[in-house]
Amino acid sequence: MKKKNEAEQLPELPCRCDVRPGDGETVREIVAATGYFTPSEVDVAVELVQENLAKGAAASGYHFVFAEHGGKTIAYLCYGPIPCTVSSHNLYWIAVHPDFQGKGLGKALMREAEKLIRDAGGTRIYIDTSYKAQYEDTRAFYLSLGYELDALLRDFYSPGDDKVIYRKLL
Ligand SMILES: CC(C)(COP(=O)(O)OP(=O)(O)OC[C@H]1O[C@@H](n2cnc3c(N)ncnc32)[C@H](O)[C@@H]1OP(=O)(O)O)[C@@H](O)C(=O)NCCC(=O)NCCS
């Protein structure tokens, strides 16, 4: 994640929640460009878009918020209610194109998703991520937004790669 530079702050960006046919490839481009995800993880990110397009947000359980700049989608987030819970939601994915990181865009997307989740009756948000050093900035990002460490699952992803779960009460 790039260090934030106040002079580079983006103006308020238009957000949209509707998912369009080209969004699978847009998501692939953004997620791959971050360099944080393996090719199979990139495929999973795209599959969530395809599920939404095939079944709709409610039936698929995958809701999206996209941020646009200069007519191009540059960041997105995917969340959804967790089946068999009363009002818990999961943040499945968030990615900001590297050219636009550190300018407040991730924070704006998270705030928008929290508002949408609250409006839908959600009361808790959970986020899974890796405890690897590569994700230190990502964890700092979640902590800065009021998410708290709720659990650590040792060697979850692979030996030496723990999973951490963050939680926020709305
Ligand atoms: C993680 C990610 C979504 C954050 O989005 P972003 O637009 O870069 O972050 P923002 O500019 O909105 O930063 C919001 C807050 O995070 C914190 N933060 C940002 N950059 C940071 C850094 N380099 N180090 C520590 N904290 C940082 C700051 O507290 C910042 O709040 P402030 O601006 O009020 O000080 C984005 O960097 C990204 O796509 N990373 C790669 C993919 C990834 O890790 N996705 C999540 C996988 S689980």
Domain count, the chain: 1
Is the minimum distance from the CB of 36 to ligand 1 under 6 angstroms? yes
Is the minimum distance from the CB of 1 to ligand 1 under 6 angstroms? yes
Query: Domain containing 31 — which CATH number?
Result: 3.40.630.30
Domain extent, residue 26, equals: 13-125
Burial of 1 (0-12, 13-18, 19+ CB in 10 A): middle
- Asked whether residue 140 is assigned to any structural domain, the reply reads no
Question: What tens digit of pLDDT does each residue of 147-166 get?
Answer: 999 999 999 999 999 999 99
Q: How far is the CA of 93 from the centre of ligand 1 (A)?
A: 13
- Asked whether residue 163 is assigned to any structural domain, the reply reads no
Is the minimum distance from the CB of 31 to ligand 1 under 6 angstroms? no
Is the minimum distance from the CB of 112 to ligand 1 under 6 angstroms? no
Strand, coil or helix: 48: helix
Question: What tens digit of pLDDT does each residue of 1-59 get?
Answer: 554 444 456 557 789 999 999 999 999 999 999 999 999 999 999 999 999 999 999 99
